[in-house]
Every structure is written in C-alpha cells, then in structure tokens.
Amino acid sequence: MNREIYMNIKGLTIKKIHHDLTKKEYSSRELTEAFFNHIKKEDAKIGAFLDLSENMAMRQAEEVDKNISAGKGPGVLGGVPMAIKDNILIEGLRCTAASKILKDYKAAYNATVINKLRLAGAIFLGKTNMDEFAMGSSTENSAFQVTHNPHDLERVPGGSSGGSAAAVASEMAIAALGSDTGGSIRQPAALCGTVGLKPTYGAVSRYGVMAMASSLDQIGPFTKTVEDAALLLKELSGQDPMDSTSASFKFGADLLSPNIEDIKKLKVGIPEEYFVEGLDKNIAAKMNEVVKDFEKLGIKTKKISLPHTKYALSCYYIIMPAEVSANLSRFDGIRYGTREKADNLIDLYKKNRESGFGAESKRRILLGTFVLSSGYYDAYYAKAQKARALIRKDFDEAFKEVDVILTPVTPTPAFKIGEKSDDPLAMYLSDIFTIPVNLAGVPAVSIPVKNNSGLPIGFQLIGKHFREADILGIGQFYEKLYN
C-alpha cells in the first residue's frame, strides 16, 4: 500500500477520486486498502461499522481497475468507497437492522439502490450501525454497540443513521447511505458535520430496504460536499418497477450544474415557527449568519409561517408507530428472525419478540397497535392523518410565496451519550425540525454551517417536490463562499 495515499484520503471527494483514478494517480485497490487500514485504526473508538465487507470490496476495486486498464474509464462513482446503513440489503451480507432478532440474517438479494451503485462502480466497505429498525435519534438503541460522535467521543452522532454519519465524518468512507423517516439522515448529518440529503418521497426506490414507516421512509446519501450529494442523487433516483411508490421523474441538468444567476432568483422563506423558545442560542445566531451569507450571494429572504408545524411531532408519533406495528409484525420467529424454543405458537411469538426486540422497538409497536385498535383508530390515527394533510398544505401555500425554506436542523448540538436515554419524549424532540418534511414528502438537505468553532451545527434547506436542484444549488454556492 502507498503510504502517501493513506495520508491523503482525508482530502478526497467523489469528484476528486474520479479525477485521480482517470489520471491513474493510484489504483482503486490501493485506495480501498487505504480506507480499510484507516477504518481498522479509527473505528475501535467510534463504532460506526457493524460489519466490514473487505473481500467483496477488493473484488469490486479490482473490477474498477480492470475497466480503467481497458480504457473504459471509472464512471462517476467508480472506485468510490462507501458505507451502507444496516437496514439496506446487500446480497450475501449480514443485514441486522441492529436488532438481535435478525442477528444471523443474510440478505438474499440486493436493494435497488445497491444495484444502482454497483453498476456505477461504487465500493461497499461495510454495513453501519443504527438505532434498531431505524427507531431512535442517537444510535444508542442498537442491540450491538453505541456509536460515538467523531467530534466528541462522549456525545452521540445522532440517529437513526448515526453509523453512516460517523463513518463519513471520521473519513472512514467518502459517502454513505442512510434512511430518513423523520430526520434520520439530516439530524445525524447536522450533529456530525456532514451533508445529509432526504430526497422527495418516491425519488429513490425503497425496494430492498427494511421498512419502518412506509409512507415516510426515504433513502438518501451522506457526503462531504453538497456537490457529492447531487452526484449520488442522480445515480440513485429513478422509477423502479419493484417499488410502486417510486416516481418516474427525471432530474435535469441543473441538479449537477447549477447556474448562479438562476440561484440568485430564488427566494428563501424563514418560518417563524422554527425559531422558538428552546432553540440553542448559538444555533439561532448561526442561522442568522447563514442568512447573511445568502444575501452575499444575492438571494432574497422572506419571513413566512407554517402554522400547523406545532402538530407535526404529535402527528408523526401516531402515524409512524402505526406503520411500525404493521411492518414489524413479520418478525415473529417463523418467517424472519431467531427461533426460540416454545411449546405452542403463541409462546413462540412471545418469546421471539420479547427477546429479539429492544425497548424502543417494543414501545413503538405497542403504541402503534394501540392507535390502530378498535375504538381508538378514529380518535388518534384518523385525526393524525388529517393533521398531516394540513401540514402538507402549509408547505404548498408557503411555496407559492418562496422557492426554498431555511430552518435549523436540530434544536441543540450533539448531546452526551446517555443524557436522554431515560426520557423518550426529550429524545423525540431532537427531530422536531425535521419531521414536518417527511410528513409533507418534500426534499430537504442538512448542510454544515461554515466558519463554526465547537460542535457541528447544520442548517436545513427544504424545497418543492422534486426541486432538489434548488436546495442543492444554493448549498453548492454557499460552500464556495468558504472555499
């Protein structure tokens, strides 16, 4: 292995790797070896990975090198070392969703996003830690280990995609995939100082991804730069016949090549409901700095209102557990999961689900079953769906006045490990600024605030349906202010 390559991996991006491999400055195999060496050195203290797929990665790297030698070129993602959240299936690899009930499960097929990345030449380094079945905001709910924030090992990386965020933030991967149901990409991205994108619902196929709440889940990337997020979205998006919720929409050239003059014409809304009591003072101050940076770009801002935002958290924690209850019913020890010894069928279900699921999963299954039960469906679930419609309407009305919405991502920076473990309601509030986006199905991206000392802080840009080009375009020009 080339020692210099090992030292230089911290400066790499998707675009830089493509340039370097094209110029044959190093091989894909050398680069992949360098990343595994870095992981073996760093991950003992961070705990981002549950499993490494070294043999698979080396085979993929050799294939990339063969294509380059044959004059085919590496492709836009060729040779790019990536980490994959452990609820996304890769054929032949263990996929646990960080749950004991699936501790020995190996995927029988690839998720659609994995097939797309394979075709693009990406390298899969391994599977990352997460909150069990994507239920949590800190990655403390994993059945196997706690992941630490690379910026302060005593603090959480966020969740549920905390392993993916930590892997990118600690330079153990160039990019990673996560899933976002109520903020599980954007929140850990903000706490770890990476870019995290939740695409429009339906823009990226969910086939082969373990469902948590099917009407809210969306797959998206963690990257070092906004430009890299755009490159990955372009490769991941598209209609999938295996996913009836996937859309046929195709992104235009402006996704990868934003024009500053077009960006200047965009108007950014600042919703008053997101700047309330409880927001960390430093985060509020940094949001004001971001607004000033936008003004330097010539972008105009306007104060707006999203009046039903106050119902979003309550609405989400009725709809999401209801869908969780349905989706996790398959993990019974017969079709999926471990098989505990029992005298009869009922005891088999009880033993497997009791020993297999963690506390947070049980909490959400019970809550979801309750709100769907006879006598409570209309009182809770039906009303939550009506509230969801109002929240979606708020965004529709706001987007008649503005093109993009700017908000904080989290109310506070990363909190200490164990600080909120015994208070589920306090933990749920971590997602208060991200949840409305999933309820409305619109795209949003978390971008690290530049010129910031101390713990990372992210700002959120929310766009119209399938207008990722707007939020990623603003993000790219914002980054250029500091480059």
Pairing of strands 175-180, 81-85: parallel
Q: How many CA atoms lie within 13 A of 259 on its CB side?
A: 6
Q: Given CA atoms 462, 230, 241, 326 in this order, what sign does their dihedral have?
A: negative
Give kind and range of the element (H or E) at residue 261: helix 260-264
Active-site residue flag, 464: no
Q: Which of 375, 446, 380 is CA-nearest to residue 410? A: 446
The whole-angstrom separation of Cα 416 and Cα 423 is 13
User: Helices then strands (H, E): number in the chain?
Assistant: 17, 11
Instruction: Yes or no: say if 455 and 409 are a contact pair by the CB < 8 Å rule.
Output: no
Residue 338 Cα to chain centre, angstroms: 28
Which listed residue (27, 53, 85, 116) is catalytic? 85
The whole-angstrom separation of Cα 412 and Cα 279 is 7
Active-site residue flag, 184: yes
Tokens of 40: 């073996």
Residue 261 Cα to chain centre, angstroms: 30
Which listed residue (27, 28, 160, 246) is catalytic? 160
Q: How many angstroms separate the Cα of 365 from the Cα of each of 96, 132, 216, 474?
A: 18, 13, 16, 40
* Amino acid occupying residue 428: Y
Which listed residue (184, 205, 430, 446) is catalytic? 184
Tokens of 141: 């709910």
Active-site residue flag, 160: yes
The whole-angstrom separation of Cα 326 and Cα 364 is 11
Give me the sheet containing 81-85, strands edge to edge.
49-52, 123-128, 81-85, 175-180, 218-223, 195-198, 444-448, 458-463, 404-408, 267-271, 300-304
139: left (phi over 0), alpha (psi -120 to 50) or beta: left
The residues assigned a catalytic role are 85, 160, 184
